[in-house]
């Protein structure tokens, strides 16, 4: 019932890149779709190759081709995400106001190509199993698709619920529900809040999970009869409380058992029909006690605690990892690796061993006087319970050729350990120490996660407050711009107060973030400093108030050493505006030999270098950067007396804005700056 690891990775990476904008939208769309088509086509070619191998009686090549039917879609998906910016294209073109449409669009190609792979795998698997004289779990490609969806529904359903709820809250806030708007803004910057929401949804879903499993597995209650009576008596003997024992209907194809449910009122034990029909009663009892061991030893709650503890620790580590330059997709893979190798690997195998020992110690609880049973290869007979546990494991391996799994370890190791534990006191003592060590490690990880989280709470609260302040300030900025460009005199008069509110909001956000020093806070401070400076310059029209904020933004940006076109553009804008302010100051406060334009020229040279770097990086409008450089050049020319030259350049730049358009845009702002420079020349 575990989902495909490739599907889980694909989902998380797809959601992780749903941000930003593509450098070239057309290339992103066409290139991504081509990658997805190629991935699906190669999957079908792998199916054809496998069918030809079957015709040539080459089962090994057919098995290899079967693996490639699902690997090619994954590789095609990864190529579309990381070579052609599928996520940024969806983020830029599908509005968030369409509820979960962005998530549907970004993930839909993955499910289409994975469905192609599941269908191809099902066809080859059916033929390979049939050749070996068994009955395949699926028969057609459509059966494979349905099975793949059902197998991965344990991830898909909770994920869709989380996305539906969180996006619904955002949409309600966007439509005017103020508390939900603030809550959604907190979510955007607080990973702890996201983890808390996920934990709350899981906690609310826990009572319903056994019922969901029963429906998905077509599992019916174990009918009345001797087996049910024996299992009920055994459960009563060890004090195992449960809601139901169910038969998992597989058509006789799956030999398995599991326990689902955290509380006695929801706990359900599942036994497959194949296991019940293939094993004698005492071996079924051993398997039942193995599952009872999971419940009695609290393995499911411990798994959940460890999962959320690791999530909290990885969240706390995201800032340092970002500072080290570790990309988000690699951080996701590291988190998945921890889940796979730690939770589903190292810890799971030890819990399975503890459940094996519990089953071995209790399998003969209904017949405590049963004599030991001789087992070939051992110096003395095994207690009946341990022998039944070993026989049950051996029977499953013999029937289905099952030799173990990542989560359980090998069957040979499990059988050997059960036997040694039963006859060797040293093994039993070492086992107790090992179990205590594992559970102590989980407790320590949990305490570490709680400690780190408590330390992070004030920082994340500051981020959330600052984000709300900045969002309010951005709204005030847009409102002030609209009022400034309105024809209504009353609105124009109100613009000054609105500009001041926007400026105060950005300054307040900086002050809130500077209460704590962390990586993401430092990056946000740079942005808010720049916005405060921009508001002071273009809204309040106070260069003296704007200058220190531009300088602070530039100083912090250079200290962080951020890379990428957006970071380069911010530093470019800082240098450009500081160059203009320096030119005005040089004219307003000339020295003994007239105006000193050294600062202006320094900023001009830095801005030209950054414009060239931004053009090489891509993702920015190079023509707009050139136009802004011409604005600085014209400002400099006008300040040093080349008025005719400056006026000619400024008049061209002033025509770039759309007359009468109130909405703020980079070119509207550029045109307005040019018009104000023309006023200075008069």
Given the structure tokens 């001789």, which residue do they identify?
374
Q: Output the pLDDT for position 573.
A: 94
Question: Tens digits of per-residue pLDDT, 337-373?
Answer: 888 888 888 999 999 999 999 999 998 888 878 888 8
Q: Output the pLDDT for position 67.
A: 85
What DSSP designation does 138 have?
-
Q: Are residues 168 and 218 in the same domain?
A: no
| C-alpha to C-alpha distance for 382 and 378, rounded to whole angstroms | 8
Q: Output the pLDDT for position 529.
A: 96
Q: Output the pLDDT for position 662.
A: 53
Q: Are residues 10 and 84 in the same domain?
A: yes
Give exposure, 331-356, as e/b (b: 16+ Cβ within 10 Å).
bbbebeebbbebbbbebbbbbbbbbb
| Mean pLDDT of all residues in 74-96 | 91
Phi and psi based region of residue 337 (left: phi greater than 0; alpha: psi -120 to 50; beta: remaining): alpha
For 16, the token pair is: 């992780």
Residue 682 neighbours by CB distance under 10 Å = 6
Q: Which band of pLDDT confidence, cut at 50, 70 and 90, is reported for residue 199? A: confident
Q: Is residue 545 part of a domain?
A: no
| C-alpha to C-alpha distance for 671 and 652, rounded to whole angstroms | 9
pLDDT at 271 exceeding the cut of 90: yes
Q: Are residues 117 and 213 in the same domain?
A: no
Q: Is residue 446 part of a domain?
A: no
Percent of the chain with pLDDT over 90: 46
Q: Are residues 85 and 220 in the same domain?
A: no
Q: Output the pLDDT for position 487.
A: 62
pLDDT at 138 exceeding the cut of 70: no
pLDDT at 657 exceeding the cut of 80: no
Q: What pTM, to 2 d.p., does this model score?
A: 0.80
| Mean pLDDT of all residues in 15-35 | 87
Q: Are residues 270 and 406 in the same domain?
A: yes
Q: Is residue 369 part of a domain?
A: yes
Q: Output the pLDDT for position 231.
A: 94
For 616, the token pair is: 């090489």
C-alpha to C-alpha distances, 17 to 11, 23, 103, 440, 515, nearest whole angstrom: 10, 14, 11, 37, 30
Q: Are residues 252 and 385 in the same domain?
A: yes
Q: Output the pLDDT for position 659.
A: 55
Q: How many domains does the structure of the chain reveal?
A: 3
Q: Are residues 415 and 293 in the same domain?
A: yes
Q: Are residues 265 and 382 in the same domain?
A: yes
Question: Tens digits of per-residue pLDDT, 586-636?
Answer: 888 877 667 888 999 999 999 999 999 888 887 677 888 999 999 999 999
Question: Which is nearest to 128 in space by CA: 43, 72, 60?
Answer: 60
Given the structure tokens 């086509």, which residue do they identify?
41
| C-alpha to C-alpha distance for 233 and 239, rounded to whole angstroms | 10
94 three-class SS: coil
Q: Is residue 642 part of a domain?
A: yes
Q: Output the pLDDT for position 22.
A: 83
**Does residue 146 or residue 310 have the better pLDDT?**
310
404, 423, 442 - which closes a domain: 423
The CATH number of residue 297's host domain is 3.30.2010.10
| C-alpha to C-alpha distance for 498 and 508, rounded to whole angstroms | 15
Q: Are residues 217 and 157 in the same domain?
A: no
Q: Is residue 584 part of a domain?
A: yes
| C-alpha to C-alpha distance for 509 and 223, rounded to whole angstroms | 65
Question: Tens digits of per-residue pLDDT, 413-441?
Answer: 898 899 999 988 999 999 999 999 999 99
Q: Which band of pLDDT confidence, cut at 50, 70 and 90, is reported for residue 404? A: low
| C-alpha to C-alpha distance for 555 and 578, rounded to whole angstroms | 12
Q: What's the mean pLDDT when you consider all of the chain?
A: 87
| Mean pLDDT of all residues in 227-249 | 93
Q: Which of 137-151, 196-210, 278-292, 520-534 has the lowest mean pLDDT?
A: 137-151
- The whole domain housing 220 covers 208-423
Question: Tens digits of per-residue pLDDT, 461-516?
Answer: 999 999 999 999 999 999 988 887 766 666 767 788 899 999 999 999 999 999 98
| C-alpha to C-alpha distance for 580 and 583, rounded to whole angstroms | 5
Q: Output the pLDDT for position 411.
A: 86
423, 454, 476 - which closes a domain: 423
Q: Is residue 373 part of a domain?
A: yes
Q: Are residues 152 and 224 in the same domain?
A: no
Q: Output the pLDDT for position 225.
A: 93
Q: Are residues 235 and 145 in the same domain?
A: no
159, 176, 193 - which closes a domain: 176
Q: Is the distance from CB of 43 to CB of 69 less than 8 angstroms? A: yes
Q: Is residue 653 part of a domain?
A: yes
| C-alpha to C-alpha distance for 129 and 123, rounded to whole angstroms | 10
- Rg of the chain taking only CA atoms, in angstroms: 33
Q: Are residues 214 and 162 in the same domain?
A: no
Residues in the chain: 682
C-alpha to C-alpha distances, 316 to 105, 449, 453, 562, 622, nearest whole angstrom: 30, 9, 7, 20, 37
Q: Is residue 465 part of a domain?
A: no
């Amino acid at each position: 019932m575990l989902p495909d690891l490739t599907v889980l990775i694909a989902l998380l990476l797809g959601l992780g890149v749903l941000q930003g904008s593509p450098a070239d939208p057309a290339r992103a769309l066409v290139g991504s779709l081509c990658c997805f088509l190629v991935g699906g086509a190669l999957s079908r070619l792998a199916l054809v190759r496998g069918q030809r191998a079957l015709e040539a009686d080459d089962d090994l090549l057919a098995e290899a081709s079967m693996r490639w039917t699902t690997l090619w879609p994954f590789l095609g998906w990864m190529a579309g995400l990381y070579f052609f910016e599928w996520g940024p294209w969806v983020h830029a073109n599908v509005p968030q106001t369409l509820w979960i449409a962005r998530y549907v669009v970004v993930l839909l190609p993955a499910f289409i190509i994975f469905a192609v792979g599941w269908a191809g795998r099902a066809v080859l698997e059916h033929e390979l199993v049939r050749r070996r004289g068994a009955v395949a779990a699926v028969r057609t490609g459509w059966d494979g698709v349905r099975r793949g969806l059902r197998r991965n529904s344990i991830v898909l359903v909770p994920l869709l619920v989380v996305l539906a709820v969180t996006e619904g809250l955002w949409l309600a806030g966007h439509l005017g529900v103020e508390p939900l708007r603030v809550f959604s803004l907190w979510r955007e910057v607080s990973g702890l809040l996201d983890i808390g929401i996920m934990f709350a949804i899981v906690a609310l879903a826990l009572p319903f999970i056994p019922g969901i499993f029963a429906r998905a597995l077509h599992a019916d209650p174990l009918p009345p009869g001797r087996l049910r009576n024996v299992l009920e008596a055994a459960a009563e003997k060890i004090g195992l409380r449960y809601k139901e024992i169910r038969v998992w209907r597989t058509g006789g194809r799956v030999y398995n058992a599991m326990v689902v449910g955290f509380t006695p009122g929801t706990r359900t034990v599942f036994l497959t029909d194949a296991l019940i029909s293939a094993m004698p009663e005492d071996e079924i009892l051993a398997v039942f006690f193995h599952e009872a061991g999971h419940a009695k030893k609290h393995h499911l709650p411990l798994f959940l605690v460890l999962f959320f503890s690791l999530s909290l620790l990885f969240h706390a580590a995201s800032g340092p990892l970002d500072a080290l330059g570790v990309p988000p997709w690699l951080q996701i893979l590291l988190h998945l690796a921890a889940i796979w190798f730690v939770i589903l690997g190292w810890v799971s195998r030890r819990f399975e061993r503890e459940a094996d020992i519990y089953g071995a110690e209790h399998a003969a609880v209904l017949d405590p006087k049963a004599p030991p049973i001789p087992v070939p290869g051992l110096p003395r007979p095994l207690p009946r319970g341990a022998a039944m546990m070993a026989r049950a494991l051996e029977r499953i391996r013999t029937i289905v050729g099952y030799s173990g799994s990542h989560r359980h370890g090998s069957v040979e190791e499990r059988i050997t350990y059960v036997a040694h534990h039963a006859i060797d006191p040293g093994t039993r003592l070492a086992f107790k120490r090992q179990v205590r060590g594992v559970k102590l490690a989980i407790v320590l990880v949990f305490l570490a996660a709680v400690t780190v989280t408590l330390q992070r709470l004030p920082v994340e609260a500051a981020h959330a407050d600052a984000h709300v302040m900045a969002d309010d300030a951005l709204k005030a900025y847009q409102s002030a711009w609209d009022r400034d460009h309105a024809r209504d005199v009353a609105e124009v008069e109100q613009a000054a107060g609105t500009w001041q509110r926007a400026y105060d909001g950005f300054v307040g956000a900086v002050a809130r973030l500077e209460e704590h020093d962390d990586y993401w806070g430092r990056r946000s401070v740079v942005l808010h400093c720049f916005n405060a400076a921009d508001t002071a310059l273009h809204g309040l029209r106070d260069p003296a108030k704007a200058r220190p904020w531009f300088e602070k933004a530039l100083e912090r940006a250079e200290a962080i050493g951020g890379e990428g076109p957006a970071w380069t553009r911010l530093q470019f804008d800082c240098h450009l505006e500081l160059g203009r302010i320096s030119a005005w100051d040089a004219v307003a406060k000339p020295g003994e030999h007239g105006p000193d334009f050294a600062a202006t020229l320094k900023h001009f040279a830095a801005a030209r270098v950054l414009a060239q770097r931004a053009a090489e990086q891509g993702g920015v409008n190079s023509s707009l950067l050139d136009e802004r450089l011409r604005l600085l050049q014209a400002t400099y020319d006008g300040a040093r007396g080349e008025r005719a030259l400056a006026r000619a350049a400024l008049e061209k730049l002033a025509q770039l804005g759309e007359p009468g358009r109130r909405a703020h845009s980079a070119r509207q702002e550029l045109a307005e700056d040019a018009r104000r420079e023309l006023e200075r020349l008069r």
